[in-house]
Structure 1
Amino acid sequence: MRRRDFVQLAGLGAGAMMLPVSAFAKSVDPSRLLEPALDVIQKKRLADVALNASRSAGASYTDVRIGRYLNQFVITREDKVQNMVNTESFGTGIRVIANGTWGFASTNDVTEEGIAKAARQAVAIAKANSKFQTSPVELVPVKGYGEVSYKTPIKKNGFEVTIKDKADLLLNANARAMENGASYINNILFLVNEQKYFASSEGSYIDQDVHRTWPFFTVTAIDKESGQFKQRGSFSAPVGMGYEYLDGRAEDKIVGPAGVTLYNKSYDMVEDATMAAQQVKEILSAKSVEPGKYDLALEPSHLWLTIHESVGHPLELDRVLGYEANYAGTSFATLDKWETKKFNYGSKQVNFVADKTQVGSLGAVGWDDEGVKTKEWDLVKDGTLVNYQAIRDQAKIIGETESHGCCYADSWSSVQFQRMANVSLKAGKEQLTPEQLIGGIDKGVYIVKDGSFSIDQQRYNFQFGGQLFFEIKNGKIAGMLKDVAYQSNTQEFWNSCVQVCDSRDYRLNGSFFDGKGQPGQSSAVSHGSATTRFNGINVINTARSI
């Protein structure tokens, strides 16, 4: 499920049946979210049961994931709390190689008997599948880490904050939006805690405690005379942080071009809701854009989605190889392009890195779901394609000696597979502020926050909208625009990149629900950038295109 789909559904107050949680999740009392799970001694004992049972049944490799997945949703609309949902999902997934073939089974019977039975079932599935396997699975080596752990470095556990305090925050923001002219506001707070234990036949026993937080609202304003309406979403980012993200510290606020207040590392929901209500009314009366070629100044809260779709997805190796095709397509960035070591993905200013370690990002973990220690690596360097995102059974294909550490499953009941790392555009090396960047543009558009988009099945031809648009004339902001979208293709677009602001402007945004696979799974991923300039991009008027 994509983020915008979640927002639409949750905004309707659809409740627990419509929210993106595991089919095995059960509704629980909020106090249950703070109760301790199994300790590491119990988890290790159960994991060893699976490792021993699968080896006895004929497995040459086994990994075990014991997972407890906790979710909390608080959903409000205007002056009402529409719903509050707390869920817990607990079980074990066991993946094996037998006769050179993968097998997987899972169970919510987290007992020695239940786990042993699932382990034997995984081996039986692998042996049955081996009749159709044309070549054996080969894994690049990984170090056995022994008993290790990782925890998201949170300062405040959101599950420890009372429901009343959370609801009061959302309702206060709603009230401020309504006082400032909003017709409607839907407001959601989503908290996630993944308690994951991984063990493998290679000697790793890894305990991880991962937290994520996402506050999000949508403000709507209606012009009663014309019947038109416009919306503006929150300027929050989904984060790999605790409830401290909602502290709204003054030092984390950024006043960007056009006087727009942006946020970094912490978020002020009440202030943002007030600003959103004022801005959404401005959008209604804004000038409609004239189609044509413009230089674009794209702010990080917008550019993350373009990065996600035109860089993150096409550089997933399973898409490149055609293993992943039905769910959102394959990739134009095929192996022949990478093998030349000369494929021009973008201009010399374009440097993309994949990173599973960045503090505060959605994808930050200590080890992936194959027990591989996470790291940062280059994807595009000085505009040239240099690597992909690959896991243990893919890495040899591109001559890598180790996995990139980007394997993930969204539940104990799901088999892990290659998922997108945090893919980010590195900040520029020269000192450059957004104001200075805009100061060099004669005819352009400054775009803030992501909007609707469309991209083809090879992640090449695309169209992106946004939420706030400002006309740039002779180096200055000349007023708000509306009905803006830009069209390009991936290679042409990134080759039109001429300037990237420096690290002072670098910020993360991302998606809580990046969908992939069949059966479908969701993962959370962040993308960082600074404000970036692209020259000569085709801009259309979306109102005239309908």
Structure 2
Amino acid sequence: MHRNPAIIRAMSPSFSRREFIASGTALAAGIVVPGWAEIFQSGPDVDAVRAEAADEALAQAAKLGASYADIRVNRYRRESIATRERQVQNVSRSASYGMGLRVLVNGAWGFAASHRVDAATARTLAGQAVAIAKANAALAARKVVLASADTVKATWTSAFTRDPFDVPIDTKLAFLMKLNETALAVPGVSFVSSQLLLVDEHKYFASSEGSRITQRLVRTYPQFTTTAADRARGDFQTRPVVDRAKLVGYEYVEDYPWLQDAEQAGHEVVEKLKAAPVTPGRYDIVVDPSQLFLCIHESVGHSTELDRALGYEANMAGTSFLKPGDAGTRRFGATIVNLVADRSQPGGLATTGYDDEGVKADKWSLVRGGMFVDWQTTRELAPLVGQQRSHGCLHSDNWASVPFPRMPNVSLQSASTEVTRDELFSGIKRGLFIEGRGVSSIDQQRYNFQFGGAVIREIRDGRLGAMVKDAAYQSRTPEFWASCDGIGGPASYRLWGTSADGKGEPGQTNAVSHGCPPARFRQVNVLNTAGSS
């Protein structure tokens, strides 16, 4: 069976929603946004052909000398709808289907992939992958040893109640246009852009150890940005509302109060335009989950990737200030700080049933009581730090991509009792409350960093005050987490995430979430970022 990757896009420089609908979704140059049935040929033999190709590839790899092999036969669907004010900017659909085979020969990896899914192509892939593995083995500094794994035969589907790919484009456009109108109705808002991203993954995994796993994952990602401009002064400010993607269906669009957020973002961006620049100095800060998730991602998520600590990503993504022998011996933060990796967290973007080498989703501590205690691992990495089992962190972003270690959902645990945001503010004489993304950077060892916010307000004598702008907090990872002396309770816990975490060379993207309550940090250096790009 032959499946070519397909990208089908409809674009327009300035289509109103009314014109878009009236055209019957026919856009520039007569292009029509097709239904998914037009993109994918389907038939009752799809699963049978897929299984036959996978079995043939594994058998041929073994015949050619592979001590281990696994194959992924995956289908991806993506849809993106973008608007600005009352115009449709872009509607695109893309689809891809193919298989990628990984083999281990003489302690070295080989990989080959194809968009053709059939037995003959599978045999060819096996020959290519084995040849590559043998060439790699001649140059390898060490032999790959895999941690043990269970033989699994399972089917797993992420939780959703409404398939977003069954929802008409008209309905999705109506949602985005209503979002825009709500923000534009706030006096002073100049521009609004919004977007809806949808992803559907169908994944089939088979290994020479006997595992056979079928999975489906559905992600939904609404986002928007409001802008207020002061033309007389030549100034403008933005308030992005992003990083809320979740592993759920279209019910996320229908059930969450997006219009309320749009109105609030409108008021905030107008206020931000009039806000005074922050005065640099030392502040007690309370960081909202909408910003703290990014700090967790960069300073904790990436620093606890074992491949980075071993230097495997030094050329592209960098290394880590943590060393391979630090687990169980190095203090990472205050004793109230507990950070957990979790591939099973409901709604988490990195949540799955099994990773891309068939290891069941795991949950484990990275930092416990302020001590760094464990790494993110795969079957190859686990033995390098004396572990018998993988934590299930292997992932690839496409059937044609080589799977390699990627970040799970990494989250800060709430306080054991209810602690409100106001309680975190109490006792702060001069401080800042930071929400959302701003200007941010971190070094290649995930040690020195600065993170800005989208909305920043003063805290004066325990009370929330006026908005300020151009602020970013700056610290070093262990010092920052050591300064944490207050964490919100379970009711304040929120899950945020990014759909485009980059890593590797050639680069791949990973979707990952980070949950946390608001948290308080004492005497943190705050910079004025005016003029930063």
Report if TM-score (shorter chain) is over 0.5.
yes
- Matching residue of 1:174: 180
Q: Does 1:90 align with 2:97?
A: yes
Provide the rounded CA distance (Å) in 2 between the counterparts of 1:39 and 1:507: 40
2:160 to 154, 165, 187: 154
Cα gap change, 1:12 to 1:447, in 2 (>3 Å): farther
Q: Does 1:163 align with 2:169?
A: yes
Taking the TM superposition and a 5 Å limit, the aligned residue runs for 1:185-224 are 185-224=192-231
Shift of 1:152: 0.6
Whether contact under 8 Å (1:173, 1:271) holds in the other structure is no
Give the alignment's Cα RMSD to 1 decimal: 1.9
Whether contact under 8 Å (1:357, 1:374) holds in the other structure is yes
Shift of 1:35: 7.1
2:120 to 101, 113, 123: 113
The amino acid of 1:154's aligned partner reads: F
Q: Does 1:282 align with 2:288?
A: no
- Matching residue of 1:31: 36
Provide the rounded CA distance (Å) in 2 between the counterparts of 1:179 and 1:114: 57
Whether contact under 8 Å (2:179, 2:258) holds in the other structure is yes
Provide the rounded CA distance (Å) in 2 between the counterparts of 1:352 and 1:329: 22
Shift of 1:436: 1.4
Provide the rounded CA distance (Å) in 2 between the counterparts of 1:71 and 1:507: 26
Whether contact under 8 Å (2:147, 2:379) holds in the other structure is yes
Shift of 1:28: 7.4
2:443 to 456, 480, 490: 456
- Matching residue of 1:123: 130
Provide the rounded CA distance (Å) in 2 between the counterparts of 1:235 and 1:212: 14
- Matching residue of 2:50: 43
- Matching residue of 1:417: 404
- Matching residue of 1:480: 467
SS, match of residue 451 in structure 1? coil
- Matching residue of 1:256: none
Q: How many residues align?
A: 503
Shift of 1:39: 4.8
Provide the rounded CA distance (Å) in 2 between the counterparts of 1:465 and 1:308: 14
Point out where structure 1 has 5 or more consecutive residues left out of the alignment. 1-9, 14-26, 249-266
- Matching residue of 1:432: 419
Provide the rounded CA distance (Å) in 1 between the counterparts of 2:218 and 2:452: 30
The amino acid of 1:413's aligned partner reads: A
Deviations 1:201-230 (A, max 9, x none): 011000000011111111111011111100
Whether contact under 8 Å (1:94, 1:118) holds in the other structure is yes
Shift of 1:463: 0.6
Shift of 1:184: 1.2
The amino acid of 1:488's aligned partner reads: S
The amino acid of 2:182's aligned partner reads: R
Whether contact under 8 Å (1:28, 1:88) holds in the other structure is no
Point out where structure 2 has 5 or more consecutive residues left out of the alignment. 1-10, 15-31
Cα gap change, 1:468 to 1:462, in 2 (>3 Å): same
2:428 to 441, 450, 456: 441
- Matching residue of 2:524: 537
SS, match of residue 127 in structure 2? helix
Provide the rounded CA distance (Å) in 2 between the counterparts of 1:294 and 1:35: 59
SS, match of residue 439 in structure 2? strand
Cα gap change, 1:36 to 1:366, in 2 (>3 Å): farther
Provide the rounded CA distance (Å) in 2 between the counterparts of 1:54 and 1:122: 8
SS, match of residue 533 in structure 1? strand
Deviations 1:142-174 (A, max 9, x none): 0111x3111011011110110000011101111
- Matching residue of 1:255: none
Provide the rounded CA distance (Å) in 2 between the counterparts of 1:94 and 1:28: 33
The amino acid of 1:284's aligned partner reads: L
Shift of 1:449: 1.2
Bigger drift between 49-58 and 303-312 goes to 49-58
Q: Does 1:519 align with 2:506?
A: yes
SS, match of residue 198 in structure 1? strand
Shift of 1:11: 13
Give the TM-score normalised by the residue count of structure 2: 0.91
The amino acid of 2:113's aligned partner reads: S
Provide the rounded CA distance (Å) in 1 between the counterparts of 2:87 and 2:331: 53
- Percent identical pairs in the alignment equals 44
1:344 to 314, 317, 331: 331
Whether contact under 8 Å (1:30, 1:86) holds in the other structure is no
